[in-house]
Structure formats: C-alpha cells, structure tokens
Chain A
Amino acid sequence: MKGPLDLVAGALADPVPTLRQAAEEARLPLPLAIAAAALAVAGLAAMRGPIGLLWMGFGLAGLFFLAAVLQLTADLLGGRGTGRGLLAALALAQTPALLTAPVAALGLVPSPSWLGAALRAALGLWTVVLEVLAVREAHRLSTGRALAVMLLPVVALLLLALLVLGAVVWMGPGVPDLFFSSR
C-alpha cells in the first residue's frame, strides 16, 4: 500500500493509475485524510482562523454527498464500481486543493491581479477533471459516460428547478393561498 506522499504525488502527476488503484483497494482512511488536509489547506488559505477549518467540515460532508449522488448515477449508466471505491477515488481527486496555499502566497509578491483568479480557476478545473477520471476508473466506464455521470445530476437539478418554476407560474395568483388562507 502506498504512503500519503506517494498518493498525493500520484494523484497530481499520474492520476489515472493512482485513482484506479484507490478505487480498487477501496480503503478509505488515507484518501479521506488527504482530502481533509487538502480542504483544510484551501480553507486556511482563504480564511484565517478556525473558520477556515469549517471549510474542511463542509467540504468533507459535500464529498460524501457527491459520492452518493454519483454512485447512483453511475449505477444507472452501467457502472460496476462500489460506493467505497468511488469515494476513495473522489477523495484523492481533491488533491489539487493543496495547491491553493502556494497560489494564495503568490498574492504576497507583486503580480497581476488576474493571475490569482486564473490559477484558482485552473485548480478548480483540474479537480473536476480528476473527479471525472475518478468516476471513470472507479466504475470502469468510458470517459464520455463518466462525463455524463457528472453532468446528469446537474441537468436533473436544473430540470427540477424549471419544473418548480413552471408550477409556480402556472398556479399564478393561487400560490399565496397555499400559505395564507383567509378566514
């Protein structure tokens, strides 16, 4: 089994075999610890004080939620991986968040104001790409299907929002009666 440094280096430099191995082994403690560290670094680089650590808590909760949703979606699209394996791979996909510290430190030396924002956006994109790879490797899907697994919940959420909006518009003036009945 690889140590934390090997896993971090692997997730950043050689993600495909690293994520595949993490999904196959489906051992959660180390990948989750790495995700927690990455999210804590991101939080502390953005916000000083203990509130930065709250970011880690929210991030980890979000990671479990993301894994649950993607597991269901992947299953519907023919995925064959386990939830534990997907969670382990998704946890390692958070590794680029470790680099938010050097990006924040870059702001301490004279540099163009757009550079920090561009680098942060690049880190975000990198994480999404790793998450797609994590889904692909954990469920042995094609890249297209893995991308669909990522996009389907977003599309479903948008459709649901549109449906709710449509219902509200359709019901029109009757809506307030649901909340305020006149007697």
Chain B
Amino acid sequence: MSRRRLGAWVLAILILVSLAAVWWAGTDGPIGGVVALVRLEGTLTAGGPVRDWSSSGPGSDRIVSELVQAGRDPSVRAVVLRINSPGGSAAGAQEIALELGRLREVGKPVVASIADVGASGAYWVACGSDLVVVNPGSLTGSIGVYLELTLLEELYEKLGVDFEVFKSGPHKDMGTALRPPTDAERAILQAMVDDIFEQFVDTVAAGRSLDRDRVLELADGRLFTGRQAVDLGLADRTGNLQTAIAEAAALAGLKSYTVRELGRRHPLERLLEELQSLAGSLQTLAGALRPIPPGGLLR
C-alpha cells in the first residue's frame, strides 16, 4: 500500500471517528465542566413554536428537548435557564417545570435567570429551579390565572353573518365567540381557572419553600420588581446572567467550566423555521376567514 493510500485510509477513519464523536457528544464544547444555557424567550405555549401577528414563542417542545439533551449529555453538569417571557399557558409551564425537576433528580442543578421579565407562567417555570436570579429591575411574579374569551356576536350581527351550531352536549361549544357564556358555563370556566390557580400556588409554595398562606397573600396577580421579589422570597438573589452561570457552576461543584448554549441553530435551520413560521401565519390568515373556534387562552 502506498503512503498516500495509507494516509487516505487514516484520514477516512479519522473523519468517521470525529463525526461519530461529534454526534455522540452532540456538542461542540469541551468534555467535562459544562454549564448548559437554555433560553426561554417569548410567549410560553405547550407544543411547537408559535409565531404569528400577535405573539411569538419557542413552544415547550423545543425547550423540553434541550433540557433532555442537557440531562443525557454527561459533560453537562448544571443548567441555566435564561428567561425573558411574560408567561403563557399553564400546560406549557408544567411541561418545562417537569423536565427541570428530572434534571435536578439526576443531580444537575438548575438556576433560573430572569432578564427583563419572567412573569406568570414563566415564573411558574422559574419555581422549578434550585435558584432564581433576577435583575433588581426585572419584572416577575404575576402569580395568578386568567381566561379570556372574545365575544364577536355583535360584530357578526353588524356584518350580517349568522351561525347555526349543532352540538352533542350543552357545553360542547363552551367559550365560543358567537355567544356569551351561560351562568353554568361561567361557573365551569371559573372552576377551571381556580383549579389552575391552586396548582400555581402549590408550585410556588413547594418551589420557593414558602408557606402556602404566604403565597396566597402574594398571589393576587400583581407584578413585582426583582428586588421586591428577593425581599419577599420569590427569588434568591439579584444578579445578571453571569451571576446565574457562576451560581450554577458553584452548585455543581465546578471550579472551571465552559458555557454551552443549547439550541443554537444554524442559519439554514433558522431559514427553515422562518419559512415554517410564514406558513403558520398564512394558515392563521386562512383560519381567520373561517368562524372562530371555541375556547380561549388560559394564562
């Protein structure tokens, strides 16, 4: 075998081994002592990403998958969840908080770092971490739940559009925009809001080690500044993202570490996402031409 041919074989093996190593590690950072950075930015929803004319957010699926990746990667020793979100759906918050709990169970500390705002559902998520770091001027809290229904009955009347609904049960079209809710439906919806509120309060009380009655006192839906939140026990300390990273590393017992941002996407992936989002917007537009489906948004 000629030297060149031998070199080519060595190169081929090197390429295959490198590719396998990169795929196995799923990373481009050094082995050992990694603090993973996961971003939660925009409106929180359960499922895939949402980006339309009124709101945008990554969806819980992407964040959960990044947290799973952090859990599986042996080089990741701690996770920082960078939050900049006004909240969103309770289910989305629960999906992410559940995964944070799993990370903590396998011994990987989680630190939440709130940027401008980490309120409502986003604060729910933050309560699933070991430590909450806020800027003194961050907005957080907003412990509460609301359900919003849009009533378009009068608008349709002005437009001369009428609808006829056939339903299998009295509450099947509960929350429809075509008529105001009945008293029975108001009671059902209020009970749902109350139940989710109770879950929220329980989560805050457990996550922040606060007395439940104390949480109820704070849970009137108001926002707090970061400094107020620290004083009230809703956050642990003030600081920026670097503070949170240092805290996460300290909790994991890391003296030297590197930070690796998970979910950092290649321009091609971003382009595909933009195209996906454009398709989503077109679908939304097409949907607007049809009667508005029942149901509001639980926040």
Query: Which residues from B are CB-within-8-Å of A46?
Result: 266
- List the one stretch of A84-92, A107-115, A124-132, A140-148 in contact with chain B: A107-115
- A→B interface (CB under 8 Å): 5-6, 8-10, 12-14, 41, 44-48, 51, 54-55, 58, 98-99, 101-102, 104-105, 107-111, 116
| B4 in complex: contacting residue of A6, A41, A99, A104, CB < 8 Å | A6
- List the one stretch of B20-28, B102-110, B116-124, B174-182 in contact with chain A: B20-28
In the complex, A54 Cα to B30 Cα: how many Å? 27
Secondary structure class of chain B's binding surface, majority of residues? helix
Query: Which residues from B are CB-within-8-Å of A44?
Result: 19, 22-23
In the complex, A13 Cα to B3 Cα: how many Å? 11
* Shortest distance from the beta carbon of B204 to any chain A beta carbon, whole Å: 36
Which residues 251-299 of B sit at the A interface, judged by CB distance below 8 A?
A: 266, 268-269, 272
Query: Which residues from B are CB-within-8-Å of A48?
Result: 23, 26
Q: Interface readout for B4-38 with A: 1 if CB under 8 Å, 0 if not?
A: 11011101101111110111011111110000000
Interchain pairs with CB closer than 8 A, number: 80
Given known contacts A48-B23, A108-B21, is B31 in contact with A13 (CB within 8 Å)?
Answer: no
Q: Is the CB of B15 within 8 A of A5?
A: no
In the complex, A124 Cα to B18 Cα: how many Å? 19
Q: Is the CB of A98 within 8 A of B15?
A: yes
Query: Which residues from A are CB-within-8-Å of B5?
Result: 5-6, 9
In the complex, A55 Cα to B27 Cα: how many Å? 19
| A5 in complex: contacting residue of B8, B16, B28, CB < 8 Å | B8
Q: Is the CB of A108 within 8 A of B22?
A: yes
Q: Is the CB of B269 within 8 A of A47?
A: yes
In the complex, A104 Cα to B22 Cα: how many Å? 7
Query: Which residues from A are CB-within-8-Å of B272?
Result: 51
* Shortest distance from the beta carbon of A89 to any chain B beta carbon, whole Å: 19
Given known contacts A41-B19, A47-B268, A54-B268, is B11 in contact with A108 (CB within 8 Å)?
Answer: no
The listed residue with most B CB atoms (<10 A of its CB), out of A6, A102, A111, is A102
In the complex, A13 Cα to B29 Cα: how many Å? 30
* Shortest distance from the beta carbon of A118 to any chain B beta carbon, whole Å: 15
Closest to A51 in B: B269
| A108 in complex: contacting residue of B7, B14, B16, B28, CB < 8 Å | B28
Q: Is the CB of B18 within 8 A of A107?
A: no
Closest to B269 in A: A51
Query: Which residues from B are CB-within-8-Å of A8?
Result: 8, 11-12
Query: Which residues from B are CB-within-8-Å of A41?
Result: 15, 19
